[in-house]
Amino acid sequence: MPHHIRPATSVSDPLTSSPHLPEQDAILVTGGAGFIGSHTVVQLLSLGLRLVIVDNLCNSSEEALHRALELAGNKGELFFHKVDLLDGAALEKVFELYTFSACIHFAGLKAVGESSQIPIGYYQTNVTGTLNLLQLLQRYNCRNFIFSSSATVYGLPSSTDPIREDASLGALNPYGRTKQYIEEILRDIANSEPNQWNIIMLRYFNPVGAHESGRIGEDPNGIPNNLMPFVAQVAIGRRPVINVFGNDYETPDGTGVRDYIHIVDLARGHVAALNKIQSFSMGAHTSVHNSNGTKSLGCVPYNLGSGIGYSVMDMIESMSKAVGRQLPYRVIERRLGDVALCVADPTLSAHDLDWRAEKTLQDMCNDLWRWQIQNPNGYEARVATAASGTEEEDEEEGTLREDSDVASVASTSSASLPETSPSTPTPGELAPSVFASLPVTLLPIISTIAKPAPVMISAESLKAVTAATPLVKPVVATQVPVVSPAGSPARGATAC
């Protein structure tokens, strides 16, 4: 049985519009317990939707789902299955339990530096896991798909102009290439079945911040390699100083400029994408046509960014204002491959999805600080992990992560992390367990699995589970060894 996580009373944050999906259908959310996933879950639950979360919890926390239900104010329904996308048999069991109207796909590994160390593991988890998912979606006739892509697919910008969706692609590392290859696969799938697929690929830039309540946020595993989680840890006293990589770029203050977007705005972008897909499905497709005259959306990429560039010093100063004191930093040598400026052009998202980033830079910093002071050690699961010694080991090893920008200007403490580019980590930076858990062979694609008839569960039977029912582990097939400490978009890292 799945975990049926019952809501607790809390403040709701409902949106004004809903995709109005059929009552008996559910939305599948892979990696829904991660940073971006959990914030999106809040938005969807607030609309009263039924969600099925699939996550292997290797680098995320089930606690985030409990808190998401609180924040949704008893709206919607949430069912959780601890399943790895590489376990095709276990994943199909989930498909047998529900009828899905759409899928939002966050799950995957996403540390750029780590991807250069274990590329086979990244291709297996991200690409093969996605293929497993897509085959089941096709088999069970769910062709509405939202993919968590990344600005890393653009590679190095060819100019300082804001990046549009029609810019050339050229990812520079295995992680980015997995996203780029999946995008190519999605385009091929849409072309192979004309007028059937509605696929939106959301290319994230740099999500930061937290829910304004401070209840859910970014919970890095080990030493953060994203700028703002590290800044927050310096502010709370877990790290001594922020390293700023170079102050001689051709920017107003000499530090690198990136496009940062509030995590709640990013989550809203997924609701906007779902609304867009709904206009081409659920019967509405008979009167709605795409720009090319077809009655399905096909496969379309959209940037999710603010369109505003903020420098590293802008971020530090805004966070200092949120904290109420100047945060310590020092300037060190710039890193090979970093670029001066990388900003999204979000015009297409505004036009097609009616979506725009609304929250300010200070909102991002204020909400991030509220999350940090309320959760100095992250979610409860992370506190328990730290008590067992795993957290300290992670800090010593310096597990690397990467922002979703094209060439991240991250900040780290020189006392705890070698001063190298995150895309070229030195041996020893990655936890030994990463290599110990690397699968020897690739899993076969699940096309040989016999297709059983899907089973619809009535709303009455679902609601029969009472709030007093204890959480139990779902009955699934034997789990495949996990490639790396992730499986949903990494806690503390963006899903891109």
pLDDT at 123 over 50: yes
Q: What is the CATH number of the domain that holds 101?
A: 3.40.50.720
Confidence bin at 34 (pLDDT 50/70/90): very high
Confidence bin at 222 (pLDDT 50/70/90): confident
Confidence bin at 226 (pLDDT 50/70/90): confident
Q: Is residue 488 part of a domain?
A: no
Q: Is residue 38 part of a domain?
A: yes
Are 12 and 46 within 8 A, CB to CB? Answer: yes
pLDDT at 461 over 50: no
Percent above pLDDT 90 for the chain:
61
Percent above pLDDT 70 for the chain:
69
Q: Is residue 36 part of a domain?
A: yes
Lowest mean pLDDT among 170-179, 233-242, 293-302, 327-336: 293-302
Q: Is residue 476 part of a domain?
A: no
Confidence bin at 3 (pLDDT 50/70/90): low
Q: What is the pLDDT of residue 431?
A: 33
Q: Which residue has the higher pLDDT, 340 or 22?
A: 340
Average pLDDT over the chain, rounded to an integer: 76
The alpha carbon torsion through 79, 84, 86, 87 (nearest 10 deg) reads -70
Q: Which residues are catalytic?
A: 175
Q: What is the pLDDT of residue 211?
A: 98
pLDDT digits (tens, 9 = 90+) for 257-276: 999 999 999 999 999 999 99
CA angle 97, 100, 102 (to 5 degrees): 155
Q: What is the pLDDT of residue 335?
A: 78
pTM above 0.85, yes or no: no
Q: Is residue 410 part of a domain?
A: yes
- Number of domains present in the structure of the chain: 1
Q: What is the pLDDT of residue 291?
A: 60
Domain that holds residue 351: 3-463
At 34, list the tokens: 């991660």
Q: What is the pLDDT of residue 334?
A: 87
pLDDT at 249 over 50: yes
Q: Is residue 495 part of a domain?
A: no
pLDDT at 400 over 50: no
* Per-residue 3-state assignment (H helix, E strand, C coil) for 3-46: EECCCCCCCCCCCCCCCCCCCCCEEEEECCCCHHHHHHHHHHHH
Q: Is residue 481 part of a domain?
A: no
Lowest mean pLDDT among 36-40, 49-53, 124-128, 430-434: 430-434
Q: What is the pLDDT of residue 4?
A: 53
pLDDT digits (tens, 9 = 90+) for 308-339: 999 999 999 999 999 999 999 999 998 777 78
Q: Is residue 341 part of a domain?
A: yes
What number is the average pLDDT over the span 382-391? Answer: 42
Residues whose CB falls within 8 Å of the CB of residue 293, separated by 6 or more in sequence, listed in order: none
Q: What is the pLDDT of residue 225?
A: 67
Q: What is the pLDDT of residue 290?
A: 62
Q: Which residue has the higher pLDDT, 422 or 332?
A: 332
What number is the average pLDDT over the span 89-102? Answer: 96
